[in-house]
């Protein structure tokens, strides 16, 4: 069954579970899923119940679609994501973006946990993604199966970026800006790979987001991305890396993260 037929069945199922029709969505990265708890009057759908919807297997990704309201504004929160290393299939990891588009989402906030490559970054920092470098060597174009789509400019919307910067300044929330580098994973990068990433302009590195952002932009959505720097990348310090550290740091900054995300949402949606 091709994606078009799968999407019809997926959307039909979701529509039977909720009447909420948001125009804005957020994908919550590793350790950041608790943001969905701020939503009111929620309709929660388990990913495992949705026909054809991929299942997340990573700790810190709860695997739910949460429809609800923030200050009476409708929003869809993807509580967890699927990474390339879980399936090895681009169609699978990008299926949530196709679902978001079919549900009528027009603006999407992509969040992730990332390693700090920039030596001025520290665990707990929040970084606004100005642009990305895709080292997954995969292309979101292949998922669309049509030639009519093309990027019209920057993947990350310049107006949304400016809005986020203004909000952070107004609320006195420290916010870094930088280039996110996406890799396939699942292993952490070597010190030499991190040095290469730094030399080509990367400030943070992670295992998601780049193909999601590209596909969302191709489909006409306005995209903004925010990384939570959860660890120093290999070679920046002598510390060993672990996924437990990633989720622990993300949990420590969740209140500051949530304050920023809510303020951005209220402004753009």
pLDDT digits (tens, 9 = 90+) for 109-149: 999 999 999 999 999 999 999 999 999 999 888 888 665 66
Residue 238's pLDDT band (cuts 50, 70, 90): confident
Question: Would you say how long the chain is, in residues?
Answer: 269
Task: Check residues 163 and 33 and name the one with the higher pLDDT.
Answer: 163
CA distances from 37 to 63, 134, 152, 210 (A): 14, 32, 35, 26
Distances (CA, A) of 260 to 125, 158, 169, 204, 265: 12, 17, 10, 19, 9
Q: What is the CATH number of the domain that holds 235?
A: 3.40.50.1580
Nearest to 190 by CA among 133, 117, 127: 117
Is it true that the peptide bond before 186 is cis, omega within 30 degrees of 0? yes
So what's the pLDDT on residue 59? 58
Distance CA 145, CA 13 (A): 24
Neighbours of 143 (CB within 10 A): 24
Taking residue 171's Cβ as centre, other Cβ atoms within 10 Å add up to 12
CA 180 to chain centre: 12
CA dihedral 112, 115, 121, 124 (to 10 degrees): 50
Q: Count the Cβ atoms, other than its own, within 10 Å of residue 3.
A: 16
Positions annotated as catalytic residues are 30, 61, 83, 85-86, 113, 207-208, 231, 243
pLDDT at 61: 54
Nearest CA to 65 among 36, 91, 94, 92? Answer: 36
Neighbours of 58 (CB within 10 A): 18
Q: Is the pLDDT of residue 1 over 80?
A: no
Q: What is the DSSP string of 24-65?
A: EEEEE-TT-GGGGGG-EEEEEEEGGGSTT-----STT---EE
Q: Which domain holds residue 44?
A: 3-268
Q: What is the pLDDT of residues 162-213, one digit of tens each?
A: 999 999 999 999 999 999 999 999 888 999 999 999 999 999 999 999 999 9
Q: Give the H/E segment covering residue 218.
A: helix 210-218
Mean pLDDT of 223-227: 98
What is the average pLDDT across 30-48?
91
When divided into structural domains, the chain yields a total of 1
Lowest average pLDDT, out of 3-12, 150-159, 183-192, 258-267, goes to 150-159
60-104 pLDDT, tens digit per residue, is 557 899 999 999 999 999 998 888 888 889 999 999 999 999 999
Name the phi and psi angles at 124, rounded to 5. Answer: 105, -15
SS3 110: strand
């Amino acid at each position: 069954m091709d994606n078009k037929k799968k999407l019809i069945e997926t959307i039909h199922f979701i529509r039977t579970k909720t009447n909420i029709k948001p125009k804005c969505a957020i994908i919550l990265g590793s350790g950041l899923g608790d943001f969905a708890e701020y939503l009111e009057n929620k309709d929660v759908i388990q990913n495992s119940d949705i026909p054809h919807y991929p299942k997340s297997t990573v700790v810190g990704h709860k695997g739910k679609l949460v429809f609800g309201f923030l200050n009476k504004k409708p929003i869809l929160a993807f509580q967890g994501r699927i990474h390339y290393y879980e399936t090895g299939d681009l169609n699978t990891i990008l299926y949530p973006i196709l679902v978001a588009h079919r549900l009528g989402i027009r603006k999407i906030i992509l969040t992730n946990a990332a390693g700090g490559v920039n030596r001025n970054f520290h665990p707990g920092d929040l970084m606004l993604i100005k642009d990305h470098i895709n080292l997954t060597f995969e292309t979101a174009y292949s998922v669309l199966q049509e030639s009519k789509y093309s990027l019209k400019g920057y993947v990350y919307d310049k107006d949304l970026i400016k809005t986020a910067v203004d909000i952070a300044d107004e609320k006195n929330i420290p916010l870094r800006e930088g280039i996110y580098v996406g890799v396939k994973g699942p292993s952490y990068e070597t010190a030499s790979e991190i040095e290469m990433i730094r030399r080509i302009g990367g400030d943070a590195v992670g295992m998601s987001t780049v193909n999601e952002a590209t596909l969302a932009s191709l489909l006409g959505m306005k995209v903004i991305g925010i990384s939570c720097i959860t660890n120093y990348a290999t070679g920046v310090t002598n510390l060993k890396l672990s996924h437990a550290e990633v989720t622990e740091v993300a949990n420590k900054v969740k209140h500051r993260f949530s304050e920023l995300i809510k303020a951005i949402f209220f402004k753009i949606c």
